Structure 1
Amino acid sequence: MAALMVAPFFALCAPAHAEDAPINLKTMGSFHVGGRLVEISGKPVKEMLFSPGGVPVKVDPNGTYQVEQMYVQYFIPANERGRVPLLMWHGGGYTGVTYESTPDGREGWLNYFLRKGWAVYNSDAVERGRSGWAQYPDIFKTEPVFLTTANPFERFRIGAGEGSFSQDPAKRRYLPGNQFPAEGYDNMMKQIVPRWTSTDEAIFAAYLAEVDKVCPCVILFHSQAGPFAFKAAQAKPDKVKALVAVEPAQVGDPDKVAALKGIPTLMVYGDFIAQDKRWPTIRKNGSAFAEKIRVAGGSVDVVDLPAIGIKGNSHFPMMDRNNREVADLIQKWLSDKGLYK
């Protein structure tokens, strides 16, 4: 299998930034896509009190429910320069907050790409945030998974592995040179939401509905969104003009890589991967999938950030202190692919 490819232009990305101008929007708004109606029956009717001292209310849980829809918020800049909209898809246990302000209060990638002139569509996947939840076990067949305060710190290459987290911030053991903002970690934990392991089909269906509504587009996606984005592009290759995979946890259908040969793809991986238990395999699988796309005639750039001098990134480069440097890399790649004017 080929080694990680580093295109020459990545070494030319300049770290300096002009002073930020105000964000000028033509419009902004939101909508829901996807979902289905589900009938529930056979449940006992209950009498409930919704507020102390109130009047009891009869609640009949039997009937028709709207479930598995997805919330999307969009921002259209006054001076559009992206040739197509940019869709942002987040990872597991998170919402679209991933791309908004960083946990320590700096601007996130949503604002960055808006300032560059991209129309940005930021979503909360099915079962997350403003997309809402559904009943267990009638609709969501498994129990939700919740993350402890130690889990992301030890699992996503912020801290130095198992046992590195402490409730006392002064005793936390960070990976040396890590770019994740230490003062923002506790705040990041406030954005964590439950996730399910039985909703992939519903998540994928809603993402396809967004692609049908918004695209042609570029999809920028992180972690758990990996297989959803690759498979969406495989299902709708005429609607997806580029894929930007930020540490994808999984990939697409290896038997359908030919569908991706006309879609330029960028895969970005951060630092500290070699010393982790899980991430070498995850990156190896991503690189192998990239090679399959190349063999099918496609174009894929797999970028190892520390190999090109961008060091210290956790699994969350959009939140790390150098998030703008990584965004610059993505912006230049999109521009070089002819998707920016």
Structure 2
Amino acid sequence: MKKVNFSKSLCVVICILIALLQVTDIQAAPKERLNKTTATLEVGKTVTLKVLNTKKSISWSSKNVKIATVSGKGTVKGIKAGTTTVSAKFGKETLSCKITVKTDSTVLSISEQGIFSAGGITVTSDGTFNPENQWEDSGAGQTSHVDHANVFYQIPVNDTELPMVFLHGYGQSRMGWMTTPDGREGWSEMFLRKGHSVFLIDEPRRGEAGMTSVSGDISTKTLDQRWYTQFRIGRWENGKSVVNKGSQFPNSEASIDQFFRQMTPDTGMKSDMGGDFDNVTVAKAVAATIDEVYKRTGKNSILVTHSQGGGPGWTAAGYTDHIAAIIAIEPGGAPAADSDDYKAVTEKKIPVTFYFGDYIDNGDPTIQATGMWQAMRQSCYDFAKAYTAQGGNCTVVDLPKEGITGNDHFMFQDLNNGVIANHIENWIKKNVE
């Protein structure tokens, strides 16, 4: 009889066991998980979340329904730009997905818009109104609501920044901020896309706010070329617009026609040069607008002024505490250091920046406007020097020195208006809280 080798037998048994383990399919139960742990979508778009590997009942919730909502079946919808968390709860388990909602860069979504009046006074005539004789011509006992601003506003869905209040210049209305002579996008839309709500003023006695407490004269003089020249667009020769070299003005015949037609008269002025402009009345209406914006949004406003509108912009600082910054686009000057307007701006430590375009240092010396613009810009440099010397935040942006050339007095309507809007937004980011 042969003896059995115990060691060899043991090795055979072990090998058989190992082989059996390798061919046995042993799998752990799959773990529940979301099909996505992060998701990015645009406002108005949807994405569907699912809990995998479970048949349990799911309860869905969004941490911030103002940013994104979620249905009972896990469909997430973007409501407003921002970030939130959507959670799925089943039994004792909770799974979460980070949701980022963005705006579609090609679509401007407005959450609210409207029109309101701000400021103004009510004038009441002596006597008693007789409703049975309403056509009598004295106006006895009747009222007139006058000298207010008319404000058109829009609030974007992506309302993440400070509101901006825009005030036009001489002979203009809010239209200038809304479009360009050649029909491109204006600054109001550009800043809406950047997350600012916009409030566009028609100042008292102008545009949609024509009711006035004083009687003006609507001139019928032919003055288009006066203002074309004053605005540094170029020279008007032989019935044609000859723009400055390198100009960014949209100089087609159709654009020239549209530019002239955006001019509008002041119902309370007699001068056709703005000599009797009522700075205080306009300033009070601007301040009332800014206070109304604060009441509606809880935020201070960035005030953007243009040309003649610069004056009321400074004065408004004495009537409201809710100006976050002043951006003065080629104002007709700046307050002297010993003036009440200067003190109002400096005491409230309002950040200020001035923007000036081209053809000032290099303007045609035979045109009177060239010297005028040099003097007006210098007053702004003087303001900035005095303000910064006492610790204020003030800059003068001379666009040609920034490498941005070809701009006239209406830089916000020029062909490169988007470049300048971006420059301003960068200033806001760095200087305004």
TM-score bracket relative to the smaller structure = 0.7 to 0.9
Q: Which of 126, 141, 148 is the equivalent residue of 2:223?
A: 148
The Cα shift of 1:258 comes to: 4.6
Does residue 1:179 correspond to 2:238, yes or no?
A: no
1:95-244 mapped onto 2 (5 Å cutoff) = 95-134=173-212, 139-140=213-214, 142-144=216-218, 148-160=223-235, 164-167=236-239, 171-183=240-252, 184-195=255-266, 196=269, 197-215=276-294, 216-236=300-320, 238-244=321-327
Question: What is the CA distance between 1:278 and its match in structure 2?
Answer: 1.2
Does 1 or 2 have the higher relative contact order (CA < 8 Å, sep 6+)?
Answer: 1
Q: What does 1:178-327 correspond to in 2, within 5 Å?
A: 178-183=247-252, 184-195=255-266, 196=269, 197-215=276-294, 216-236=300-320, 238-252=321-335, 254-255=337-338, 256=340, 257-261=342-346, 262-274=349-361, 275=363, 276-327=370-421
Q: Which secondary structure state, in structure 2, belongs to the residue aligned with residue 181 of structure 1?
A: coil
Helix, strand or coil: the match of 1:26? Answer: strand
Residue type matched to 1:267 in 2? F
Identity %: 32
- Judging changes above 3 Å, is the alpha-carbon distance between structure 1 residues 338 and 126 closer, same or farther for their aligned structure 2 residues? closer
Cα offset, 1:231, TM superposition: 2.0
Q: Which has the larger radius of gyration?
A: 2
Partner AA of 2:157 in structure 1: A
Contact 1:226 1:252 (C-alpha < 8 Å) held by counterparts:
no
Which protein has the bigger strand share? 2
- Aligned residue number for residue 335 of structure 1: 429
C-alpha distance in 2 between matches for 1:64 and 1:259: 34
The answer (yes or no) to whether the contact 1:204–1:228 under 8 Å persists in 2 is yes
In the superposition, the TM-score normalised over structure 2's length comes to: 0.64
Q: For the aligned residues, what is the CA RMSD?
A: 2.2
When residues 253 and 28 of structure 1 are mapped into structure 2, their CA distance, relative to the original with a 3 A threshold, is farther
Contact 2:284/2:316, CA 8 A, preserved across alignment: no
Q: Is the partner of 1:79 in helix, strand or coil?
A: coil
Give the aligned partner of residue 49 of structure 2.
Answer: none
Q: Label 1:150 to 1:294 Cα distance change in 2 as closer, same or farther (>3 A).
A: same
Structure 1, unpaired ranges of 5+: 1-18, 43-56
Q: Does 1:73 align with 2:165?
A: no
What are the ranges of 5 or more consecutive residues in structure 2 without an aligned counterpart? 1-103, 128-133, 270-275, 295-299, 364-369
Confirm whether residue 60 of structure 1 aligns to residue 137 of structure 2: yes
What is the DSSP-based 3-state SS (H/G/I as helix, E as strand, rest coil) of the residue aligned with 1:130?
A: coil
Aligned residues: 295
Taking structure 1 as the reference length, the TM-score comes to: 0.81
